[in-house]
Amino acid sequence: MTQTIDEPLVRHIGKLSRIELTDEQVSTFGRQMSAILDYFGKLSELDTDGVEPMAHAVELRNVLADDVPGQSLTPEAALANAPKRDGDFFMVPKVIGDSQ
């Protein structure tokens, strides 16, 4: 399972992760991620045929809350940390272009 993370792949993963990367990071991360993934490959030594994957150590069931109205965050509290707001709205750059 030896996996080399080359520069185009690092850039692709950066894009999927929504993280801009400098050229220097692309090269450093590529090297480091290859070494780490190579280490992860150690798991391929183990035979896991027929083993049920375990996402949680403590068995979880659906946990439902009672349907009781209660106080949630006020708009003011919810917006208090917003880097940019307009009244009761969070501000983002234009999402839909003029030509679309």
Partner 1 sequence: MSDLTELTAIELADRIAAGDASAEQAARAYLDAIDAREPTVQAYNEVWADRAIEQAKAIDARRAAGQGIGPLGGVPVAVKDNICTTYGRTTCSSKILANFRAPYQATAVDKLEAAGAVVLGKTNLDEFAMGSSTENSGTKPTRNPWDTDRVPGGSSGGSAAAVAARLCAAALGSDTGGSIRQPAAFCGVVGLKPTYGRVSRYGLVAYGSSLDQIGPLARDVADAALLTGVISGHDGRDSTSVPRDVPDMLAELDKPLENLRIGLPREFYSDALDAEINLAIHAAAEAYKDAGAEIVEVSLPHSRIDIDEAGKLSSYAAACYYIVAMAEASSNLARYDSVHFGHRTAERCDDIIELYSRSRAEGFGEEVKRRIMLGTYTLSAGYYDAYYNKALKVRRLIKNDFDAAFERCDVLLCPATPTTAFKLGEKTDDPLTMYLADIYTVSVNLSGLPGLSIPAGLSAAGLPIAMQLIGPVFSEPTLLAAGRMYEKASATSCLAPPMVKG
Q: For binding to partner 1 (CB under 8 A), which residues are involved?
A: 1, 5, 10, 13-21, 25, 29, 32-33, 35-37, 39-40, 42-46, 48, 51-58, 60, 63, 65, 73, 77-78, 80-84, 90-95
Cβ of residue 99: shortest distance to partner 1, in angstroms?
A: 13
Give residue for tokens 């003029």.
98
Residue 4 near residue 10, CB atoms below 8 Å:
no
The span from the CA of 38 to the CA of 4, in Å, is 8
* 3-class secondary-structure state, position 79: helix
Cβ of residue 84: shortest distance to partner 1, in angstroms?
A: 7
